Amino acid sequence: MQRVPLFIGRWKYRSAIFFIRAGASSLFRQIGGVQTSKSRQNPPSRGRSPDLRGICAEENAEGAPAGDLSARHLIPVWRSVHMKTFRLLTAVSIAALIAAPSAASAQQKTLYVAGYGGSFEKTIRDEVIPAFEKENGVKVEYVAGNSTDTLAKLQAQKGNQQIDVAIVDDGPMYQAIQLGFCGKLDGLPADLYDTARFKDDRAVAIGIVATGLMYNTKVFKEKGWAPPTSWNDLKDTKYAKQLVIPPINNTYGLEALVMLSKMNGGGETNVDSGFKIFKEQINPNVLAYEPSPGKMTELFQSGQAVIAVWGTGRVQSFANTGFPVDFVYPKEGAATLLTTACPIAKPNASPVAASFVKMLLDPKIQLVMLKDYGYGPVLKSLVIPPELGKMAPIGERAAKLYNPDWTVINEKREEWTKRWNREVER
């Protein structure tokens, strides 16, 4: 659901004032027998409606010139014997109808949450928002977008933030904190994993994701292909034009670049080898560099794609629909991706923004995220039912994850993105 632009609210307010003034003006004229100069000069003949040109000139709140009837779409004109009375009732009635919703809207508290779209958005809308609205007496508006989109919105709105809560990947979250966009969280659970905490509690991880490989189990079985086991499998020519990878403005694509660089003598401080492999060996296999979760699943459902770089959360959610996909932790290691949240710091900060973030840490919600979305829980004490967490990074799988150096990455990210657009995704 998108936020209603502010100018619409202002239009309603001004319209209400316009009609109230119109009604009051008409009432005073009828009580005091006041006539406009126009009506005095041209008194209406018996049995005919009066000429409203002068009245429209008086009542036009937007400053239309005398005799301009462009306001007739706002004050309908019917010819009748009792025109003045009917006009008064119409104006006051419309004013009441317009003013009432505006007053209600002013009293209605709204919390604006920016986060991922797709299956994540559905889980938040189904499992979190209804209960939160009921408990806190607020309306939650959810604004879907990827992490870089949300960070860009925060930068664009600097000094006049409209977002109250941001849910983004850990890389962009470090940038958001550095730029001063995140407020402090008090009263976080004592049993949070250390990896879920951020300096000064300016944000918190709400789930642990592993970035690795997704493949279509049905197609692989039909073709007699063994499941992928390595990042190097992305170079296999049998996947020509059947591979999908998010671009590096998306964390999944960025971490794939880092892992391939790391495997070939580089890493965050030197990604030359990763760029070379993408450009020369992986690019010929790529059907699309696709950031959209919806488009990613469509490419698999249509049979165009059979293998991809993606995260446990997305793959688990896709598999929950019944589509035959599975997740692979590459033998060289899967990369950690933390889904994080923070309340936005601003002078008029919402008093329930931090409460929304902390609700995402509730044990019940953590289990929902594990079941529906394949998130590894961030609470040490959470008891995980044995039937859950087939793909999620928990236990030994979580211990083996590679944690990228986001301090280095964020310093180089803009440079890498330009290079990617120039050399790889042309």
Which CATH number characterizes residue 199's domain? Answer: 3.40.190.10
Same domain, 65 and 175: no
The yes-or-no verdict on residue 44 having pLDDT over 50 is no
Same domain, 229 and 267: yes
Please identify, among 62, 79, 107, the residue that sits at the C-terminal boundary of a domain.
Answer: 107
Structural domain span for residue 93: 6-107
Encode pLDDT of 102-141 as tens digits: 433 334 599 999 999 988 999 999 999 999 999 999 999 9
Encode pLDDT of 50-104 as tens digits: 333 333 333 333 333 333 433 334 334 334 434 444 454 444 444 444 444 443 3
Same domain, 28 and 54: yes
Same domain, 158 and 263: no
The answer to whether position 44 is within a domain reads yes
**Euclidean distance between CA atoms 311 and 283, whole angstroms:** 20
Same domain, 13 and 101: yes
* Of 373 and 157, more confident: 157
Query: Domain tally for the chain?
Result: 3
The answer to whether position 401 is within a domain reads no
Same domain, 230 and 279: yes
The answer to whether position 399 is within a domain reads no
Handedness of CA 262, 267, 271, 273 (dihedral sign): negative
Same domain, 222 and 195: no
**Euclidean distance between CA atoms 106 and 104, whole angstroms:** 5
The answer to whether position 152 is within a domain reads yes
Q: Which pTM does this prediction carry?
A: 0.72
Burial 285-306 (b: 16+ CB within 10 A, else e): bbbbbbbebeebbebbeeeebb
The answer to whether position 410 is within a domain reads no
Same domain, 71 and 187: no
The answer to whether position 411 is within a domain reads no
The answer to whether position 408 is within a domain reads no
Alpha-carbon distances, residue 28 vs 35, 37, 51, 89, 259 (angstroms): 10, 15, 18, 13, 78
Which residues in 105-231 belong to E strands, given as ranges?
110-115, 139-144, 165-169, 204-216
Neighbours of 369 (CB within 10 A): 27
